Amino acid sequence: MNKELKILGIVVIFTLILYWGVEPFAHSQMHKHVEGHGLIYDGKADIEEASKDKKEVKKKFWADVKKIASLKGDVASGETIFNSTCASCHMKGASNMGGVTPPSLDHAGAIYDKNFLIALIKNPAMATNVDHKYKDTATHPMGAVMSMVSSDQDIANVVAYIKAKKAGEVTPKEAFIEACSRCHANRYGKLTQLGEIPKTKSNIKTGQDIDKMKYDQKVAEEQNALADYLGKLPPDLSIIYRARSEHFLETFIENPQSQLPGTAMPRTGLDKEGLEKVMAYLEETGDPSKPARDALGPWVLAFFVIFTILAYLWKQSQWRDLH
Ligand code: HEC
Ligand code: HEC
């Protein structure tokens, strides 16, 4: 008896060592731990991680951003600048330019951080932390904006306008479409890089759906252009919510370089609301049965309570005569 207890003890101890010691250790070695920055876009991490020759440039860039952020923007003149510059690329039905299609900015004020927007207009490649890809950052697909809106006050005005025009509540899907889907499809959400997949019909006589074929071709062309621009086609994000931890996703979206140094994915500059909405959409498509599961929970608990009461009553009635 004593011997068996000892063996059991040894087995338990080794199991616990394996469970708490080895597995988490291996995990921490395989995935480096990345701290988030609380969605504050002040360039601190960029400056720290920059190579020696880039440090000064980045320091100056983010100091300028801070200076512009302290200016008071004028909403009305911001609107004029927005309509004459930003809207010329960011219009409805815009087509691919330089490898990527400019997204809708309908809810930009609600999903992007103010400092990030200032940095983005000042220098898109630097703001999105992909400047390592460019010899001349003006060749970024949005690089032309640097010469179109160049005075500090103009930048402050446009950002004041974008922030003032929040355009109401954003749904998780809208946030995902505006911030991510120009690059990432979401099959379960029925989204391609060109937006929502249109409904088409096949010809009854031939069984062929020519509209769908045309659409598929357009998507393929867009994906080829993206792959040329980014070096690879960005992955479909339908089930990424299950494949990666929430912490990984949040820190990766905040600064892709922190998890994958050298990656072509830009930092998207989401603020707290924007990130929450995008995460909600990833959860919705990655784990669509969660609401049903959650709704079932209280019923299962209720069943156990009722079952316990019935079992107790039944036991009472069985033993009543025996005592
Ligand atoms: C300009 C294009 C672009 C945009 C916009 C973009 N991404 Fe990406 N994303 C990429 C590319 C390219 C990769 C592949 C990275 C690599 O392998 O180097 C990627 C990879 C990822 C990954 C995979 C990480 C992994 O390896 O598991 C996730 C998650 C992701 N993106 C999330 C998002 C989310 C969420 C958004 C919107 C907030 C977004 N991305 C916006 C280009 C983009
Ligand atoms: C020359 C065309 C052009 C002009 C002008 C332009 N943009 Fe863009 N913009 C783009 C393109 C292309 C992208 C997508 C870049 C990418 O994904 O790499 C983009 C992306 C963006 C994004 C999304 C960034 C992110 O992090 O996901 C925002 C916000 C934005 N632009 C705001 C503006 C504002 C505000 C202006 C006016 C001050 C402006 N843009 C002017 C072409 C343009």
pLDDT tens-digit map of 213-257: 999 999 999 999 999 999 999 999 999 999 998 999 999 999 999
Q: Whose CA is nearest to atom 14 of ligand 2?
A: 102
Torsion of CA 157, 66, 267, 33, to 10 degrees: -150
Per-residue pLDDT at 249: 95
User: CA–CA separation, 200 vs 215, rounded Å?
Assistant: 9
CB 62 within 8 A of CB 43: yes
Per-residue pLDDT at 169: 85
Distance 142 CA to ligand 2 centre (A): 5
Residues with CB under 6 A from ligand 2: 85-86, 88-90, 97, 100, 102-103, 105, 108, 112, 120-121, 128, 141-142, 144-145, 148-149, 158, 162, 179, 182, 266, 268-269
- Ligand 2 pocket test, pick from 82, 137, 145, 253 with the greatest ligand atom count within 8 Å of Cβ, gives 145
Distance 169 CA to ligand 1 centre (A): 25
- All residue ranges of the chain with pLDDT < 50 are none
Per-residue pLDDT tens for 121-157? 999 999 999 999 999 999 999 999 999 998 999 999 9
Per-residue pLDDT at 125: 97
Per-residue pLDDT at 21: 85
Q: Whose CA is nearest to atom 29 of ligand 1?
A: 249
User: CA–CA separation, 321 vs 323, rounded Å?
Assistant: 6
Distance 214 CA to ligand 1 centre (A): 26
Question: Chain-wide mean pLDDT for the chain?
Answer: 93
Closest CA to 189 of 285, 275, 278: 285
CB 176 within 8 A of CB 186: yes
Distance 238 CA to ligand 2 centre (A): 25
User: CA–CA separation, 120 vs 149, rounded Å?
Assistant: 11
User: CA–CA separation, 25 vs 48, rounded Å?
Assistant: 27
What is the dihedral sign for C-alpha 101, 104, 109, 111? negative
